[in-house]
Amino acid sequence: MSEWKKYKLSEIYTMSSGISSSKSQAGQGSPFLSFSTVFNNYFIPENLKDLMLTTKEEQERFSIIEGDVFLTRTSETLDELALSSVALNNYPFATYSGFLKRLRPKNKIKVYPKFIAFYLRSSYFRKTIINHTTMTLRASFNESMFSYLEVYLPDYDEQVRIGDFLYKLNQKITLNNQINEELEAMAKTLYDYWFVQFDFPDENGKPYKSSGGKMVYNDQLKREIPEGWGVSSWGRYVNLEMESTMKNLRQGTRFQKL
């Protein structure tokens, strides 16, 4: 493992403010990087959903290229200031919000984009931001903060190893979260069909209620339910076994809190 060296952010990057735009420009034109996109993503998405009507001059001045780092410029709370998002691609014709700061590499000190993305979102760096921020009505990331903030970097090869590992891990976590959301949506849909609409498959494979399945009024639920259904207590079908758990506790079995 190489020694991690300390650098000022201002040694690695130049900082620029974003475009000042009006509401009339929004929703049309070229891709636009918004405050919320940076706030919610370690990495800038491949496709920017927001649009802004901008000129060629503005697109050149407020451009987004691979390696750029974007920070939220202002926040009502300290812990949401200077949240970062890193560009892994070039974004032709795109511009970025005036509520953001852009850090563009000077290319004097090599920094691996995937590594710096996780470093700037780490608890260590977040604490550094909070400790150096003065709160008035709103917290603000300015030139003064930029000039004295420091980062620690290993050599470039180690940055690549760390960055690639964390990136792949993050992709797996993101994929698992997407799968969980899809399964949850499927479960809610299934519950709705079975226990709200009562359109579970009947003996012919058709939706029960929609196909004329008989419904009867239930006094306890005060609503109609499928014929043959009823209300019962959970305890009639499930036995809760506590004895073995209590025995283990008495014998000093140790449990790991997760």
What the chain holds in terms of domains, given with CATH numbers, is 5-171 (3.90.220.20), 199-251 (no CATH)
**What CA–CA distance (Å, rounded) separates 225 from 222?**
9
**What CA–CA distance (Å, rounded) separates 27 from 46?**
18
Q: What is the mean pLDDT of each run of 10 residues along the chain (258 residues)?
A: 90 96 91 96 96 96 98 88 96 97 95 98 93 74 89 97 97 95 96 94 94 94 92 77 57 48
**What CA–CA distance (Å, rounded) separates 227 from 236?**
21
- Which residues make Cβ contacts (< 8 Å) with residue 117, sequence separation at least 6? 42, 43, 69, 84, 85, 86, 163, 167
Q: Which two tokens stand for residue 91?
A: 């974004």
Q: How many CA atoms lie within 13 A of 125 on its CB side?
A: 23
CA triplet 160, 128, 154: central angle to 5 degrees? 25
Beta strands at 26-33 and 95-96: parallel, antiparallel or unpaired: parallel
pLDDT at 255 (0 to 100): 45
pLDDT at 257 (0 to 100): 42
CA 146 to chain centre: 25
Burial environment of residue 209 by CB neighbours within 10 A (0 to 12, 13 to 18, 19 or more): middle
pLDDT at 139 (0 to 100): 80
pLDDT at 247 (0 to 100): 58
User: What pTM was computed for the model?
Assistant: 0.76
**What CA–CA distance (Å, rounded) separates 51 from 39?**
17
